Amino acid sequence: MDIIINNSSSVPIYEQIEEQIKSQIMTGELVEGDALPSMRVLAKDLKISIITTKRAYEDLERDGFIFSVTGKGSFIKGISTDLVKEKMMYDIQELFEKAVDKAIVGKVTYGELMETLKLLYEEKSN
């Protein structure tokens, strides 16, 4: 499991970890029953606080992506990729609402907004 932290990102580190694990579930890199590194090991590997990894794992467990077994660790939960996609679509919709609100206040046109989205998507997906 590869996790890459971008320290210059405005996205909190725990969210970066969550999103990358969710992405690896969606792509099939992580499948039901796969063990995640312990919170301590992941924190050490990423050179971050164990509190940060704990927050990421707690959020992933709360959202139904992983489960923990005391004394054994955390594991990928058997979930539908459709469910994962639906959750991501919900999160995206919330972000779009904020972006549209800002666009309206800033008098950004629909075309400008869509062009920006297109450029960002192309840049990130390559």
- Pairwise CA distance, residues 120 & 107, whole Å: 20
pLDDT in tens, 26-53: 888 999 999 999 999 999 999 999 999 9
Q: Are residues 52 and 92 in contact, defined by beta-carbon separation less than 8 angstroms? A: no
Q: Are residues 26 and 83 in contact, defined by beta-carbon separation less than 8 angstroms? A: no
Confidence bin at 94 (pLDDT 50/70/90): very high
Q: Which pLDDT score, from 0 to 100, does residue 120 have?
A: 92
Q: Which pLDDT score, from 0 to 100, does residue 14 have?
A: 97
Q: Name the residue ranges covered by the structural domains of the chain.
A: 13-76, 81-125
How many CA atoms within 13 Å lie on the side-chain side of 126? 6
CATH topology for 13-76 is Arc Repressor Mutant, subunit A (1.10.10)
Q: What is the mean pLDDT of residues 76-98?
A: 85
The helix or strand, by DSSP H or E, that contains position 69, with its residue range, turns out to be: strand 66-69
- Pairwise CA distance, residues 59 & 66, whole Å: 9
- Does residue 86 have a pLDDT over 90? no
